[in-house]
Each structure stands twice: as C-alpha cells, then as structure tokens.
Structure 1
Amino acid sequence: MIAKVSQYDIKRYNWYIWRFVIAGFAFFLIMILLIAFQIFGALPSFRELENPKSDQASQVISNDNKVIGNYYIKNRTSVTYRQLSPNVINALVATEDARFYQHSGIDFQRSFTIVAYNLIGKKQGGSTITQQLAKNLFTEKTHNPFVRVIQKLKEWITAVKLERNYTKEEILTLYLNTVDFGAYNTYGISSASRTYFNTTPDRLTPDQAALLMGMINGPGIYSPINHPQNAINRRNFVLRRMSEEGFLSDGQADEYKAKPLGLTFKPTDHNDGIATYFRAVLKKEVQKLLVDRAILKPDGVTTYDLDRDGLKIYTTIDATMQQYAEEAQQEYMKKLQGQFNSHWKGISLWKSIPTFKSLLDKGMHRSDRYIYLKQLGKSDEEIKEDFNTPVKMNLFTWHGDTDTTMKPIDSIVYCKMMLRNALMSMDPTTGYIKAWVGGTNFEHFKYDQVKMGTRQVGSTAKPFTYAVAVENGFSPCMQVPNEPITISYEGQVWSPRSSPSETVPGVITLRTALARSQNWVTAYVMNEVKPKPVADLIKRMGVTSPVPAYPSICLGTFDASVFDMTGAYSAFANEGLWTEPTFLLRIEDKNGNVLYNNTPKVVQALNPETAYVMTYMLKGVIDEGTGYRLRRDYHIMNPIGGKTGTTNDNSDGWFIGITPQLVTGIWTGCEDRDIHFRSTRLGEGANTALPIFAGYMKRVYANTNLGIKKNVDFVPPKSGVSITLDCGAYSQQQKGTNEVEKKLDF
C-alpha cells in the first residue's frame, strides 16, 4: 500500500527547501560583506586597481627599432588596444565571455545557464573575462578549497571594481597582456604572437588568433608544440564559436579550419637570438646605473626591477649589422677551428705544453661541477674520481651541439682547445657601437671578451708610437735603417727581436715599417719620442687597462680589451676626436617616461693633421703590408686602413680595420695563452682575425640600406696637411736640406 503524501507534508518540505535557499543566500551575502570589509584579507586598493602589478619584461631595442631581447621573470610585453587585431578580440570574446559587453563584471545570467550552454555545445567557463583578469592580477594560486571559495568571491568584488575603473577596451587589453601562453615562460599576447608566429598582435589572422585564444584555458594540453592535434581541435572550436557569434561567416570559419597550424616557432630564451653577449653586459650596466644614479619609481622609494618593470632600453646596436657580424664569425671560425684541430692532431698536449697540467687543474677548480661537489663535502680524491668517470653531457661544436658521454676532465681539455673570438664595430663619429660579438657561443661560454676580458694587444699598439712621432713632425716618408737596436731606459736595457723571415732589409720608410709591422724601426721611433708621451696618448685614446711607460709598449706588451682598442682606433678615423664607445642611448619606463639619457664623452686625443696622416699610414698596411690579403683574397678594394696584431707564441691574433664610417676590432685566441697555434703562418692576426673582418664588411657593403658607403675616403683637415706624404717630394726636400746644411758647414 502506497502512502499518500499529504498537502501538509508538501508545504513542510517546501519550507525546508526555502529555508535552505534563504540560509544559503544569507550566508552568501554575509560572506560578501565580510570580504568587502576585508575580514578575510585585503582587497586591491583603488591605487592598485589604477596601477595593477603584472610582471613585464624589459625590452632591449636596437637603433633600427627592433626588439633584440628581453629581461624577464615572466616573458611578458604589454601592448595597447590599438595594437590588437580585431581577430584577437573577437576570438577571445566568442570563446571566453560572449556577453562581455553586456555585463558589469559578473554575468549572473551566465552563472545560472552554464549547464544549459554546455548541453547545447556552447562551451563556456564559469568566469567572465573581468573575473579572470582579477584572478590573474590579484590572486595567488592555492589548492585549499575553502581558500579558493574566498578567492572566488574576492574576484567577484574586484571584477566589479575593475569594471568601474576601466573601459571594456582597457579590460580586454589588460587581460591579454597578462595571460599565460605556456612555452618558454611566455606571457601576454605580444610574446605569444612573437613566439608562435614570429609576428605582432595587430597582424594575427583569424586562425592564428583562434589558436592563441584557444590555449588560454589550457596552455599545456592545447600546446601546438607538444599536442598539435589538441591545438587544431581547440582552434577549430574557437573558429566555430566566432562563426556562431557572427564574427566570421560559416564559409570563412570552414576555410580557416582547413588550414594547417602554420607555426613559426621562435621561443625566446636568454641564450637565444642575436647579441646574447651584448645583452648580458648591458643588463649588468643598466642595473648598476639604476643603483648608482638612484633612479627610483614615482613613489620616490622603490627601485626599478629590470626583470619585472617593463623598461625600454634603447641601444646603439644595429640589428642587421649585428646579424652580419655573427654570421661572419660563425662562417670563418668553423674553418679556423678545423685548421687548429688539424694542426694539433696526433701531438701530445702534455709534452708540447709544459703548463698543461696546471691549466687543467685551474679549469677543474673553476668548474661548476667542482664547486658543487665541494659544497657536498666531497674530498679531493672523490672529486678526482668523479672527474674521471664518464657521464652524459652536451658539448658545443661548430656543426651544432652534440650529446655525448665523456669524462668531465676530458671535457675541460676539449673546451681548452676551442678557439674564442670577439668583435666590436662602431661609428667613429658618434661613438655608437653597431655590432658586439663577445664570444663564440653564449650558452656554453658565458665570458664576454669584448669589454670584460683583456689580452695582450701585440702589433696593434704600434700606431700609437707612430702617432706621437707624427705629432712631433716625423713624416711617413722618413727613412730609417731596419737594424737591431738596444734601448736603455730608467736603468733597464731592452733589445727587441725581429723574425728573420719577416724582416725587411735595408733602409725603409716609417710607412713601410708600420705596413710590414717591423719591430726594429718601431723601437727606433719609440727611442726618439720616449715612452711617457706614448703611454699618455694611449690613455687619452680611451684604453682603461694599465699601460706602463716602458719602451716595450710600442710592440704591444700591455693588455687591453677589444672595446678599448676599437675605441682608440676610432680617433684616427675621426679627425683625432676620441668619442667614448657607446651602446646605451636611453632608458624609459613602461609608460614612455625617460629615466636616463646617455651623453658620450668626447676628447681631442690627437690633432686633426696627425689623425689624417695616421689614416694614410694605416692604409699602407692594407695596400702593401700585413693586411694585404684583404685586397688579394677578399677583393675589398675601397679605402680601408687597419693593423694586424700577433702576440708572442701566436697566443693572440688581432685585426682592427678603419673606414670613415666604421671601425671594427677583432680578437682571436684560446682561453689560456699557453694554448695556441705553433706557427705564425696560422696564428698571426692576418689569418685568425682579418678574414672575419672581411666577411663582415662584405656583408655590410652589400646592403646599401645601411648607409656604409664603399668609396668614401678619409678627408684631410680643413687647415691642411703640412707633413709631406709624397715620398718623392720628401726625398727632394731632404736632399735640398742636406745641401743647405753642407753649405752652412762649409
């Protein structure tokens, strides 16, 4: 027998239901009030809503207005609403919040119809775009369900506040600048556009926008890199939603669904891209500058964080010339390393290099592996055993990185035998550095050799001695016997050597002596002008490392950086004016306010006449001297001056080339000076450094858009040149002078 439910029971059950609903609603209101009164923690203040915190990458911008790198904790770069394609907005709204323009932060209609939407295929999440923005900006992640409920209610209140403080366009822009797109720490639509399609947000097509907007709810499972089929399915769903909401026709949606993903995947990483060494040096310089100059945020208290505050760092680097410099280095260093490996093949390093064991010990003690093992408390014997136990590792080669199994101690040998190289190229008139290649591979060899490292400069120092002589009236046509010389100076005696095969016999001009890099004539000139004026000139021309006033500095026994030496040679090309090599132009905050402007120092290091005469002498190096292979092998025939440099035992190879518009310095050598080519034919700067200059300049000249003209020569000073450069005329003058002196003696 079925019991009948009385009218009374129905009313009683209804009352229970209503009491539960009323109690739930009251609890909800109480919770909202408690949260509004900040009982469960602070809500974002008005100021925070006006200036929401979201980590933004700082951009490194080249002189030709290209972003060549970012500094970031989260790789995010903000854009404005005008920089967004309508396709991005339409895809976002259609997928995430179809009633975005109708609600005021909370879509109650949507909240109560989520189930219905999903049943008919219009998949919708539970949060509006504004609520998601509130979550992105002001909510920390938690796995506690009670805390998450509190957070959700806070997001509702914050969403309403955001709607009151921002326009719909501003909310969309803020949201798209904060979204996580997964791969390689990519945040924001700008970084995502560049990473996945190598484009900008204003150029995204409907299918590209659909792919990116489809990733928002699951950047991992909808990754086009790791899960391409999931990404296609999700993209096509977004395209269908765009069609349903009237942003695309059915035909357009079907057309875009049929397209492949079309990725141009270019992940951003600190080890990738161009100018990696430069960006590392720049970061340290900017951080130091912000501290030293006490550049603070508008509150007058907080310091800027380069990885979080979205600064814009404008540099002098030309992205195209930087690319050319890196290509020239990679092209030739691959060949040179092959020469080096063949040169040492079958030869015992232990027998040929007396200091080799010491070099390995030092390399081991400086390694990350050794430091880590020491921190673990390992003994020296245990560490030695570890270094002699084969392990898997990744090594750099000029044919690409390779995974191999090797003893760590053998990997140190391998790295010690890798040639290193550095290049810097600058405009001598402005001081602007156009290209900076600090090493061969930043991921594997972090040390920057342009500015941070110094090496013995060899014969690239010789022009400084000749410049002092020219300032004292010496003509390049002056003739000097090329014979051994001994110099006594401050109680010391110095007799330079000269390679028999390289020595030009007889009486030669100063121009020939510099062109052929003759040690004895250079020492003769040093003895005439004395060391102190030469050392003073070197310092005046921007060399910051120690330069002792000894006679031997005329042959380059002091150390200097590529940065300083290239800057010094720029004074020859710039009428004697040394303009400080400059790579930083200005720093702006994320709103475009200028925080710092750089003004290079300018010093009149040489008089204009001397500088011009030195360009004539340096052109002799290319026309008839150690730099002649620039003409012979590389067929670069336009006006160029330069100087090769090779240090003792061929440990360092240099070439510094000058034109009226560009000065470029290049160094090549191993990490340790005791490891080097065993023959001057291979180890001289003409073989290790000059070819990279040739490859770089040929690329630069081929691109007329760069404005570096081939047939521009150095211009004489307006005051004229009193020093005779015509050696025939000089001989006649000397002959006449000698005859007058004879008559006077008579």
Structure 2
Amino acid sequence: MAKKVNNTQDFTKYIRLFWKLFIGGFLAVILLFLLASWGVFGELPDHTILENPKTNLATEIISSDGVTLGKFYFNDNRTPVGYEELPQHLVDALIATEDARFHSHSGIDARGTLRAIVKLGKGGGASTISQQLAKQLFHGEGSKNTLGRITQKAKEWIIAIKLERQYTKEEIIAQYFNIYDFGNNADGIRSASRIYFGKEPMALDLKESAMLVGMFKNSSLYNPRPERNPIGVKNRRNVVLAQMEKYGYINEKLKDSLQKLDLGLRYSPESHREGTATYFREYLRAFMKDWTNDKKNRKPDGTKYNINSDGLKVYTTIDSRMQLYAEDAVAKHMPRLQAEFFHQNTPKRNPTAPFLELDKDEIEALMNRGMKQSERWRHMKYDLKKKDKDIIDSFDKPTKMTVFAWKDGKAHEIDTIMKPMDSMRYYKSFLRTGMMSMDPQTGHVKAWVGGMNYKHFQYDHVKQAKRQVGSTFKPFVYATAIDQLHLSPCDELPNTQITIEANKYGNPEPWTPRNSDNKYGGTKTLKNALANSVNTITARLMDKVGPQPVVDLVKKLGVESEILPVPSIALGTPDVSVYEMVGAYSTFANQGVYTKPVMVTHIEDKNGTILYQFTPESRDVLSEEVAYVTVNLMEGVTQSGSGVRLRTKGADAYRADYREIVTGYPYEFKNPIAGKTGTTQNQSDGWFMGMVPNLVTGVWVGAEDRAAHFASITYGQGGAMALPIWGMYMRSCYEDETLNISKGEFKKPKDLSIEVDCSKYTPDQDSNSSLPEEDTPEELDF
C-alpha cells in the first residue's frame, strides 16, 4: 500500500514539473517578446518608419507614351508597383508556395510555428509572408548563432504583427514583391519581370509568375540565366505549380501541361550602357545632376535628392516607338556604310588607312594626341600614378580586350588580344552618327540617337559633338536674303564665280568659292540653286547681305556655337551640333517661331508630388512669310535636288558584305518634304536635315577624326551617308499610324506677298525682288 502511495507521489511530482516547465517556458516566451518589444535586442522600427521603410528606389525615366526607357540606380534597381498592378496568378503562386494561411493569420502562423518547433525546423519553415517582409525590410539575414536566431525571430514576429496592423494584406503582398532581390539587378518584381521576360508584371503569364515566385527560395541558387542554373529554376518553378494545384488555384491538367514547358526566358539586362535611348539617358543624367545641385530643388528637410536612390520619376518627351525606329534605322544603315568604308580602306588600297591626306609624321602626332586623351591614359596617370614613359610603353603591349564590330549587319563584341595603340587605330576607322527628331511646334524631342553603341562609343554626337555643317548652313543665308531683299525662290542669279574682296567683311584674303562640280554659266533660280547646292549662288547672296546679319539670325535660331562673321560661313564652315541644327530648322517649320528643344516635361518624387515643371521658351525670329518661302526653297531639295532619291523607287539592294548600292532607295515618299543635304569639303561630314510640318529630324555621319573619310563624293556625300537613316526612320514612323506624323502641306501664310510658284512669277510684279544694280550679270561674270 505504501508503495502505491509513493508511485502516486512520484507521478504528481512529474505533473508539477511539467506545469512548471510549461508555465516557465510560456513566461519566457512572453518575456522574450517583451524584451524584444522594449528594444533590448536592438531598436525596433516605430510607426513612422513602418510607414516609410528605408529602401533605395531607382529613378525611373519615362517616355511620352508611358514606357520606361531606363533607370538611374547605384545598387538597387527598384521601382515599386501597387497591388493592382500584379496579376492574380502571381499573388496566388506566392500564397500557395510561401504562406497558404496568409489570409487567416495576423502575422504569425501558430500551426506552422508549432510544426516547426516539434520537427525542429525539418518539416519546413514557419515564416509567414509578413515575417519574411519584416526580415527583408528591417534586419536582413539571420544570425549564425542560436541565441541570435532566437532573438531575431522574436523581433521578426513583433515587426510582422505591427506590419499586419499597419497595412492591408494586399499592401503587404505588394511590399514583399517590391522588396525582394531577384538577382541580376532585378530588384523588385517590376525589374524582375522586365529583365527576365521583357514585360511589365501585369503581362506575366502563369508559368512566368511561377518561375519568379520560385526564386523567393534563393535567387542566387535559382538563377535562370543559361550559364547559371536554368534546370534547377525549372524544377523549382514546377514545385510552385504543384503547390498551386495542391491548394486549388489551378487544376491538375493545367499543372501538367505547364510543367512540360521551357522557362521562356527573354533575358534583357537593364544597365546604364545597354537598352533603349542610352545616349539620351546619359544626357539626362547630367541634366538631373544640375537639377539636384540647384539649391531651389531640395527635399523638405533641406537635403539634396539622390537620383540613384530616391525613386524620382522623370517624364521625358522621347517617344519610345520613334526612338526604336531611329535606333533601328541607324543599326540598318551604319554597318552597310561601314563595310564600304572598310572596303575602300584596306592597306592595299590605302596604306595610311583609315586616314587620307596625312603623312607618317602627321598620323603619329594624331595617334599620340588620341593616346593622351584616352581613358586608359587618364586612369594610369591619375589613378595609378604611373610615369608617362611607362604609360606610353603600355600602349604597345598586347592585352586582352573586347572590341566592337559589325558582323552580318549587326553589332557584336569580339574578345581578342590587341595592342591598345592598334585598338585606337581600329576604332578611329569606324564611322559615327548622331540623330535627333523634334516636334517644331512644341519643341518636344521625340528621338535622340547619339551613336551606334554606347558601351563602346560613349561620345554623344547629338549635343556634345560639333562638326562642320556644310551646305546645311545655306538655308540660313537664303532666309537672311529673303528677309532683307524680299527675294522669291523664282529669282535668278548668274551661275558664275564671284570673288569677295579682301577686308570687305573682315576676311583677310579674297574669297572665290568653287562649285563642287566645277560647272558654271547661265543663271539659276534660287530654288534650283539651293536644291543642287550651287556654291556661287550662295556666295552672291552672302555678298548682298553680309555675314553679320546671317550670324545674327543663326544666333536667334538657337545656335550657341561660335560663328565668325566671315563670308566663308555661307558654305558651312562653322562647327555646330545636331541638337542646335534641329532647333534652328524647326523655326522654319514653325512659321518663324523658335521653340527651344524640350527633353523633360516634369519630375515627380516617389509619392507623385511634382517637383519640376518645364516652362516653354519661344521667340519670334522670322515672319511667317520668310519662314514659309525658306521652307518652299528646301522642298526643292527633295523634288529635284540632292534629296530627290527620297521620291524614287529603287531596289532595296545590298551587296553580300552589307555594302550599300547607293542608287537603290526604296522610300518613294509622296508627301511634301523640305530638307537639305550637307557635305564638307573632303567628305568627312555628311548631313541631312529633313522636315515635315510636325517633325524635324537631323542626321550627321562621319568619323572621329576628319582625316578619316571617303575618298570620293559617291559615298562621302550627305545624300549617301546621312539621308538613308532619315528615310528609313521616316518610313517606319509613317507605317505606325498611331504617331500621326504629318503628310500634309506646310502651312501657307494668308497674306503671302512673295510668289513661290515659278509658273506664275514675273520679276516685274514685285519691285522689291529686283536685283541691286551692282549685281548685274555683266559685272559678276568672270
């Protein structure tokens, strides 16, 4: 009997011990939570921090048609999206895989936690989506020791509960998608969907959503790039699809069919040197730097905005469709033109290739200047503190490098071993290009192509570069003459050489320009003379008005480059940028009103508050009549002059090695087009400026050094170098009817007093159009 009592007492002792341990453990857990909430294990975020978690957000560059052109970021390429921008199957995939009871708990899943404790974590983790978000937002990776993991888990629970109180379930889902790093600069779901599939999150299909959700397990391990772990990613994606079928989001048949499919990856990395509008984006970076440095543009707390982390939205005038058409036109034309340039500049055909008209010493001097202006020289001299001799020697030592090349008409990179000096010479043989397109009424810049490949050719040939403009300068001379002398396009001048005497306009020597074809005699109408770029006629007009009024007009047209008031500017000796030329020509299309080019319409902060709104800048420069008559003159260029190939229908024929047959241009435009080709004296610069009533586009093509150029006018003229880019671009723009590019007539002034129809014109009808006495043919005929 005593033995039985002792057994009962022993059992009672165990029961008491159990309850002591249970209550003690319960109190310990409560104490753990209390200590964590009091900040003993580290400071917890308060409600203000929970409302505005400190995450780096990339600045987004947005086109006029609502497409993201690119981003500015340092480490985090993150642009948040709202819950409504997520497809339902993406949300379903996340819940099925990561937190099946997400909608029924308040931050902590008791069943999952108990299971994890009983199985010591071997049956799967117990972290809810809210807990994972807390971990991502506020304390990152877990501790490596047991005590640290316990205290961090306690903090995670508390923050998760606070998040559940602060936000709706939908907001927590959106934040979790936005905060996660999917690898390869894909920070957040928006960047991930764009980088891995080339689309916005809402456009993701079910299998794509499943792949991205599968990456939540470990984006470093489950990296879908072909050289990393595509098989593992597919297996993980299939696990997600199985979970969706398990919880009733999809049926078994759909799961089985999707699991058989490939990933369908369309990997397109988002970097500063790749993607759309790279040259424009770099211009914009400088614009934003100036804007943030201006003390007027400060945050409410007085600090500067950071374009890499403050999540600004920059709304631009660039049209993403037109930008792609412009880049495509460059990508089609330049390899063909380059192939011809290489063909003409083989060592056998040109021992000084790629240079012409330079002797050995001149070439050596040019290369030495290039060496000292190179990034390699700057890095070795100023970063590595190397001596000049060591730097010079390094340029003659073979080294591994990746160089640009056109291959089968497309841009390629070639890994090779080459001396840096040889690579400099190699790159100097490449023709470059610059192109800009603008709405003349609003000033909105629609396309900006500063070169062929920003990664290898970073110098921007839209705004940075200034090159001789050749005959594209002539319309400024004609406009000045029309304004001052009331001339008609039908007025005739003798096509004979003229000499402007020394010191007449400050020029030290007599100036006697030649026509490019060396043909003289008879008379030519102004329209015919401009259409065919007759130098003698332009020189006569310059002699009538003088160079200073021409310079004054050009300055009013927005050209800031230095232009000396000497007669030779009539033939295009000044160096001007594509940006300036497009702005100036737009004045003619805009009835004589200059509108400063606009690239940014407004800037918003991450909350949508407008921080900057552009103010249009315009001024009257010419009368509507003078502007219209000048446009009418330039229409002659595409009707019967150097731009007439835009009207012709030719075979779109190219040689097998992508060298263009210049006679074939399949554009066949029927609508009014005003324009002007430009070619410099030694064919080093080719230009085409083209206008329709609501779009003005300028194109320049040439090599880095003017000593590298075509030997003859056949390929070295603006009509062969630059005009094809304009033609292909405009053809694409017209095929896209959503752009509404005009095919109509240029607006004619109501009270036009200058006759532009030469079939109706007689010189006597307007006394102002008669030539001054000293300009009679007898006096000017040499």
- TM-score (norm: length of structure 1): 0.92
1:219 and 2:219 aligned: yes
2:446 is matched with 434
Q: Is the 8 A contact 2:292 2:306 kept in 1?
A: no
Residues 542, 564 of structure 1: 8 Å contact kept: yes
Deviation at 1:331, TM superposition (A): 1.0
- Out of 719, 728, 735, the residue aligned to residue 702 of structure 1 is 735
- 1:59 to 2:60 alignment: yes
SS at match of 2:401: strand
Distance in structure 1 (CA, Å) of the matches to 2:338 and 2:16: 89
**1:333 paired to 2:334:** yes
SS of the equivalent of 1:215 reads: helix
**Aligned residue number for residue 88 of structure 2:** 86
Once the two structures are superposed, the pairs formed by residues 338-487 of structure 1 within 5 Å of their partners are 338-346=339-347, 347-349=350-352, 352-354=357-359, 355-374=362-381, 375-399=383-407, 400-472=412-484, 473-481=486-494, 482-487=496-501
> Matches of 2:477 and 2:131 in 1, distance apart?
72
Change in Cα spacing, 1:684 to 1:221, as seen in structure 2 (3 Å) is same
**2:161 paired residue number:** 160
In structure 2, relative to structure 1, the CA distance for the partners of 1:322 and 1:170 (3 Å cut) is same
Is the contact made by 1:392 and 1:404 (CA closer than 8 Å) also made in structure 2? yes
C-alpha distance in structure 1 between counterparts of 2:77 and 2:566, whole Å? 52
Letter in 2 for 1:394: T
Task: Output one character per residue of 1:44-88: Cα deviation in whole Å (capped at 9) or x when no partner.
Answer: 121111112222222222122222222223222211111111211
The 3 A distance-change label for structure 1 pair 670 and 623 is: same
CA 1:266–1:500 in structure 2 vs 1: closer, same or farther (change >3 Å)? closer
- How big is the shift at 1:286? 2.4
- The amino acid across from 2:127 in the alignment is S
The equivalent of 2:704 in structure 1 is 671
- Following superposition of structure 1 onto structure 2, how do residues 508-657 of structure 1 map, counting pairs within 5 Å? 508-632=524-648, 633-634=664-665, 635-657=668-690
Mind listing any 5+ residue stretches in structure 2 that lack a counterpart? 1-5, 649-663, 774-782
Q: What residue in structure 1 maps to residue 108 of structure 2?
A: 106
CA distance in 2, matches of 1:151, 1:723: 85
Deviation at 1:159, TM superposition (A): 1.3
Offset of residue 470 of structure 1:
0.4
- The alignment status of 1:715 with 2:747, answered yes or no, reads yes
Aligned CA distance change for structure 1 residues 507 and 361 (closer, same or farther; 3 Å): same
- Within the candidate set 292, 295, 298, 2:294 is matched to 292
Shift of 1:10: 8.3
What's the CA shift for 1:290? 3.4
Which residue is equivalent to 1:242? 244
Which residue does the alignment assign to 1:3?
Answer: none
1:232 paired residue number: 234
Distance 1:336 1:437 in 2: 17
Aligned to 1:489, the other structure's residue is in SS state coil
Spell out, residue by residue over 1:449-479, the C-alpha distance to the aligned partner (whole angstroms, 9 max, x if none).
1012211212111111110110121222222
Q: 3-state SS of the aligned residue for 2:638?
A: helix
Question: Structure 1 CA distance, aligned partners of 2:610 and 2:197?
Answer: 31
1:260 to 243, 262, 281: 262
Partner letter of residue 606 of structure 2? K
- Tell me the distance in 2 between the aligned counterparts of 1:252 and 1:117: 33
Amino acid of the structure 1 residue aligned with 2:704: E
Q: Which moved more, 1:630-639 or 1:412-421?
A: 630-639
SS at match of 1:505: coil
Distance 1:52 1:713, change over 3 A: same
Amino acid at match of 1:363: G
Once the two structures are superposed, what CA deviation does each residue of 1:666-712 show, in whole Å capped at 9, x if it has no partner? 111111223222323322212211111111112222222221133x1
Secondary structure of the structure 1 residue equivalent to 2:216 = coil
Q: What amino acid maps onto 2:670 in structure 1?
A: M
**Deviation of the 1:257 alpha carbon:** 2.1
SS at match of 1:401: strand
Distance 1:661 1:568 in 2: 14
Distance (Å, rounded) in 2 between the aligned partners of 1:135 and 1:343:
63
The corresponding residue for 2:776 is none
Q: In structure 2, do the counterparts of structure 1 residues 200 and 215 end up closer, same or farther at CA, with 3 Å as the change threshold?
A: same
User: Aligned-residue CA RMSD in angstroms?
Assistant: 2.8
Query: Structure 1 pair 223/705, CA: closer, same or farther in 2 (3 Å)?
Result: same
With 552-561 and 650-659 compared, the bigger mean Cα shift is at: 552-561
Q: Which residue number in structure 2 is paired with residue 744 of structure 1? A: none
Answer whether contact 1:118 1:124 (CA < 8 A) is retained.
Answer: no
Deviation per CA, 1:375-408: give whole Å up to 9, x if none: 3343333323322222221111122221112111
Tell me the residue number matched to 2:136: 136
Gaps of 5+ in 1: 1-5, 742-746
1:505 paired with 2:526, answer no
Question: Measured at CA, do residues 471 and 598 of structure 1 come closer, stay the same or move farther in structure 2, by a change above 3 Å?
Answer: same
Say if 1:504 and 1:518, in contact at 8 Å, map to a contact too.
no
Deviation at 1:723, TM superposition (A): 4.6
Give how far 1:560 is off: 1.2
Match of 1:685 in 2: 718
Q: Distance in 1 between matches of 2:161 and 2:516?
A: 87
Structure 1 pair 475–251 and aligned structure 2 pair: CA distance change class (3 A): closer
* C-alpha spacing 1:268/1:351, structure 2 compared with 1 (3 Å): closer
Assess if the C-alpha contact under 8 Å between 2:62 and 2:316 holds in 1. Answer: yes
What CA distance in whole angstroms lies between the structure 1 residues aligned with 2:25 and 2:357?
87
The answer to whether the 8 Å contact 2:500/2:543 transfers is no
CA distance in 2, matches of 1:196, 1:491: 62
The answer to whether the 8 A contact 2:396-2:420 is kept is: yes
Query: CA separation in 1, counterparts of 2:12 and 2:230?
Result: 57
CA contact (8 A) 2:515 2:536 kept: no
Shift of residue 733 of structure 1? 4.0
Aligned partner of residue 435 in structure 1, secondary structure: strand
User: Aligned in 2, Cα 1:629/1:35: closer, same or farther, shift over 3 Å?
Assistant: same
Distance in 1, matches of 2:768 and 2:56, equals 78
Match status 1:658 vs 2:694: no
Question: For 2:702, what is the secondary structure of its paired residue?
Answer: strand
* Partner amino acid, structure 1, of 2:399: V
Deviations 1:324-353 (A, max 9, x none): 111111111111111111221122228842
Structure 1 position 644, deviation (Å): 1.2
Distance 1:203 1:640, change over 3 A: closer
Q: Deviations over 1:544-592 (max 9, x none)?
A: 2122322222222222110110110011111111111112111122232
Number of aligned positions between the proteins: 730
Q: Shift of residue 736 of structure 1?
A: 13
CA change 1:135–1:468 in 2 (3 A) is same
Q: CA deviation at 1:611?
A: 0.5
SS in 1 for 2:296: coil
Alpha-carbon deviation of 1:440?
1.0
Contact between 1:389 and 1:408, CA under 8 Å: does it hold in 2? yes
Cα 1:256–1:624 shift into 2, 3 Å = closer
Is the Cα–Cα contact under 8 Å of residues 485 and 524 in structure 1 kept in the other structure?
Answer: no
Map of 2:660 onto structure 1 = none
8 Å Cα contact 1:87-1:204 kept in structure 2? no
Q: Give the TM-score taking structure 2 as reference length.
A: 0.88
Q: Which amino acid aligns with 2:729?
A: Y
Q: State the AA in 1 paired with 2:530.
A: L
Q: Which residue identity lines up with residue 223 of structure 1 in the other structure? A: N
The aligned counterpart of 2:307 is 306
Q: Over residues 4-32 of structure 1, what are the superposed CA-to-partner deviations in whole Å (9 max), with x where a residue is unaligned?
A: xx969988888888777766665554444
1:287 Cα deviation from its structure 2 partner: 3.0
- Equivalent in the alignment of 2:322: 321
